[in-house]
Amino acid sequence: MATIPIVPDENILDPETNDLTENWRDFFVLLTQALRQCVGNEGFQISAQNSGDISLIEPKALTGTLIFDTSAVNGGTMDDPNGQLLVRLADGTFRPITNS
């Protein structure tokens, strides 16, 4: 999983050269690398996992992590589940993202 870099706490431009500071240059390089790992040509690449694997991932996942639960029925059947998009909340649990 990609780590989003911390935003530098300094001016973005060097006052003498009017170029990005080294810290800001590094920030944008790391941010671009992280986004390339998370975003494809079709948008965000969300990990698809079954419910059993999600329970293993849950304690280690960061707040805001998106996972697609492939085993959630969600309008389908037990034999042919539709799946459910989940987000990890600050309380450490994954909750469904619903349309209502």
Does pLDDT of 1 surpass 70? Answer: no
Q: Is residue 5 part of a domain?
A: no
Q: What pLDDT does 19 receive?
A: 95
Query: Rounded to two decimals, what is the model's pTM?
Result: 0.54
Residues 53 and 38 in one domain: no
Q: Could you give the number of structural domains in the chain?
A: 2
Does pLDDT of 100 surpass 80? Answer: no
Q: What is the pLDDT of residues 6-42, one digit of tens each?
A: 999 999 999 999 999 999 999 999 988 888 776 766 6
Question: Three-state SS for 96?
Answer: strand
Q: What pLDDT does 40 receive?
A: 67
First-to-final CA distance of the chain: 30
Q: What is the pLDDT of residues 30-82, one digit of tens each?
A: 988 888 776 766 676 677 888 888 888 878 888 888 888 988 888 878 788 78
Residues 53 and 28 in one domain: no
Q: Residue 29: which domain range?
A: 13-42
Question: How far apart, in whole angstroms, are the C-alpha atoms of residue 75 and residue 44?
Answer: 24
Residues 51 and 86 in one domain: yes
CB 84, CB 68: distance < 8 Å: yes
As a three-state string, the secondary structure of 30-65 is HHHHHHHHHEECCEECCEEECHHHHHHHHHHCCCCC
Which residues on adjacent β-strands are paired with residue 96?
86
Question: Three-state SS for 27?
Answer: helix
